[in-house]
Amino acid sequence: MTTDLDGIIAHYYSLLDEALARDTFAVLGTGTRERGMLVGPQRDQPICPVMRPRFITRAQYDTLLHAAELVGRAIRAVSAAALTEPALLAPYRLTPVERELLAIDPGYPSAMAFGRLDGLLAPDGAWCWFTEANVESPIGIGYDEALAGLFDQTRIMAAFRETFHATALPVRQGLQQTLLDAYRAWGGRGTPTVAIVDFPDVATWSEIDHLHQRFEADGLPTVVCTPDDLQYQGGRLYVETRLADGGASWRPVDLVYRRLLQHEFLAMYDLHHPLIRAYADRVVCIVNPFRTKPAHTRLIMWLLSDDEGPAGGILDAGSAMAVARHVPWTRLVRRGPTRYQGERVDLLDFARRHRERLALKPNDAYGGAEVIFGWEAAPLDWEGALERALEEPSILQERIPAPEERYPIWSDDEGLSLDLYYVNSSPCLYGDRALGCLTRIAAATPDRSTGGSPAPPTFLVEP
């Protein structure tokens, strides 16, 4: 029996004839629509339009988790130092409000209780690189569990499991335990009432609904709300819930699972909002706290990568070695010299001459917004982007070739096809432990796109 990734994937496709593909498409499509797992501007595109889970071998998974735990440790060390060292915070150019929010002690030690690293993993597990850290409020944890459940209902997975053991990687359980661990470290006792807080128009509301249901099923009282539903009175934070008769009731909460992003919150509210007042008075535990900015924006990858930068000397030898092996060369865009592979170079001149190996990323932006790939940019466009990047914090990062895999697509007009996708691997960080892997895939051919970033669930496959 083959245990290499190509052989495992080939076996899956040997089982997938047109009839089984049509059946799989129907099961996944119906389940996705019923659960509201739709994304895109109109929320009409399935989050997983492909008919195969992402398969990962034991060798890959071991490499991924080991690397993630080491890099996660380095991120925690640097971001913790940034809370007290002005030289580390200065490049972020924080506003006075951001600085005031950062100074609030959340009541428990960690500035990031959980997060996600976004990276690229070799098909044989020989290497792993992390390009970004999403440690503010990563999405996808609830979707992954729900999608794995849908694939478990398909006949193709039943047939595949006659040859291989295929286990959906756990992610949601780690989130739930981390929330409770933070609550207890904060000083909470008993079972808390949880509020999942986000804005009402987010495209990921169906994922929040799934997490709400799972938390409740596990005995964790939970309410979903928006910032406008919160009130702070008498030393308690309350959520307004609307009753069927048109009235309202107020439910006290102990623990807030913060889904909303800090920059979006501050664009609409000030620090007198009930959520912030209760947080500052330590009458509610918020996870993640409003202290993640030094870790969740892209400058953290520069601080890790540049041993001549302001974070040089903070990491111990083991963490520094892990960064060298798992974080690509990353630099803050600024005038002056730096080192590339030991050679002294002028950063901007180097970036102009080697745009085909570099990506330019704004510091505080989400997903692929405003990212410019030098290998796709015209010289004049690249030059202009570099000049603009001097005005706002931005990074240059060396390109890491993305692994590719074929995934099955079904359409009534064309039938079954196997399309090529780039594969992104995102292990979850829960405290000092890495767990699971969220997968994002992107069309590798420009003439075929399903929109958004498809997110098949990840299954560990073993003989």
Instruction: Judge if pTM exceeds 0.75.
Output: yes
Tens-digit pLDDT profile for residues 149-192: 999 999 999 999 999 999 999 988 899 999 999 999 999 999 99
Q: What is the pLDDT of residue 367?
A: 63
Residue 146 counted as domain residue: yes
Q: Percent of the chain at pLDDT above 70?
A: 96
How many domains in the chain?
1
- Domain encompassing residue 138: 5-295+403-462
Model pLDDT for residues 228-279, shown as the tens digit of each residue: 999 999 999 999 987 777 778 899 999 999 999 999 999 999 999 999 999 9
Residue at 232: amino acid letter: Y
314 in a structural domain: no
pLDDT of residue 204: 85
DSSP assignment of 353-378: HTGGGEEEEETT--TTTT-EEGGGS-
Instruction: Check residues 15 and 248 and name the one with the higher pLDDT.
Output: 15
Q: Is the pLDDT of residue 450 over 60?
A: no
- Which amino acid, one-letter code, is at 424? N
Do 405 and 423 meet the contact criterion of CB atoms below 8 Å apart? Answer: yes
Is the separation of the CB atoms in 461 and 55 below 8 Å?
Answer: yes
- Does a structural domain hold residue 346? no
Q: What is the pLDDT of residue 36?
A: 84
365 belongs to a structural domain: no
* Structural domain contains residue 71: yes
Give the CATH number, domain containing residue 83.
3.40.50.1760
DSSP 310-357: TTTTTS-HHHHHHHHHHS--EEE--SSEEEETTEEEEHHHHHHHTGGG
329 within a domain of the structure (yes/no): no
Which residue stretches of 366-446 are H helix?
A: 379-389
302, pLDDT greater than 70:
yes
The answer to the question of residue 266 being in a domain is yes
Is residue 209 in some structural domain? yes
pLDDT at 445 over 60: no
CA distances from residue 274 to 111, 200, 237, 280 in whole angstroms, order as listed: 21, 18, 7, 10
- 453 has a pLDDT exceeding 90: no
What pLDDT was estimated at residue 201?
85
